[in-house]
Amino acid sequence: MPIPLQSIREAAARTRDRLHRTPVLSSRVLGERAGTQLLLKCESFQKTGSFKPRGALNIVLSMPEERRARGLITVSAGNHAQAVAWAARVAGVPCTVVMPTDAPRSKMDAVRGYGAVIVTHADRATLFDRLHEEEARTGASFVHPFDDPVGLAGAGTLGLEIVEQVPDVTCVVVPIGGGGLMAGVTSAVKALKPGCRVIGVELEAGPGMTPALDAGKPIPVPRAPTVADGLTPPFVGALPLEIARDLLDEIVLIGEAEILEAMRMLLVRAKLYVEGAGAAATAAVLAGRVKAGSDEVVVSVVSGGNVDPERMLAVFSS
């Protein structure tokens, strides 16, 4: 079942005073290159630099006070970690985050800056096992990064904004990591504009949703090193999987070189400082993986902008 539109609207009302309504920007050069009318939904301008606070804050504000008072705990390679740490600071409660040892330094620094405690773990495949150990030890309340319906309702507020800001949109392109963003956006867009296509984008080297759809359930996925670390959770969520199966129009795969080129193009042509996962949807449009005619209005979700300066410099030297 999709996330109910009413739940998404309630999430928007609950979080509106603390979050940004992010802009939709156009780029004539990128649109001409893609052969379509391309617009960019810039979640890189959201609080903490990504879409993640939409879901994290909705979860935290929806919690019973006694549960929230126990503190928060989560697991993330970066953007969700920052979002939960920020939401914990908003709520005035402690926060612990389990992060992979090789998470980007800028994301770790931001998590600490919001006042959270970081527990590092070397093996990404067993991050959730380490999380559950800390959860049992601390008694803190787990804020799931991509498989909580309350969090997905928060992510769906992005879809509400797209339809409100671009009422003639015909196609929305969204990256897929754990699937929470895709699930929320798809639920909102399909409820408001059933004829609008929603297309998910995964890494060619290590997709998660595509094999889960084939298997009929989330399965562990080996992930190759990539600049798009936000697209590399160990598995996708069960609820996003159901929504993808029932509502998502298509999933396309994108390669590392195409993501790097999109990061370059977004910086040079659109003046947007964007991380690899944040560039994935635009990469799929620019590379022709998303089939859209010149009369279509395509909105690409730029999901985040948290990238180390050293990594961005490496993008331009590659």
The residues annotated as belonging to the active site are 52, 303
Give the separation between CA 230 and CA 278, rounded to whole angstroms: 8
Q: 314 vs 77, 118, 203, CA distance in Å? A: 20, 27, 20
C-alpha angle with apex 182: 180 to 184, nearest 5 degrees?
A: 70
CA pair distance 268, 287, nearest whole angstrom? 17
Residue that has been written with the tokens 């994290």 in this structure: 56
H or E segment at 135?
helix 127-138
Residues 28 and 123: their CA atoms lie apart, in Å, by 43
Distance (Å, whole) CA 3 – CA 186: 9
Which residue type does 288 have?
G
From residue 90, give the alpha-carbon distance in Å to each of 80, 84, 243: 15, 10, 30
DSSP assignments along 261-285, one per residue: HHHHHHHHTT-----HHHHHHHHHH
User: Are the C-beta atoms of residues 72 and 95 closer than 8 Å to each other?
Assistant: yes
| CB count in 10 Å sphere of residue 157 | 27
Alpha-carbon distance values, 180 to 19, 27, 96, 315 (Å): 18, 27, 21, 27
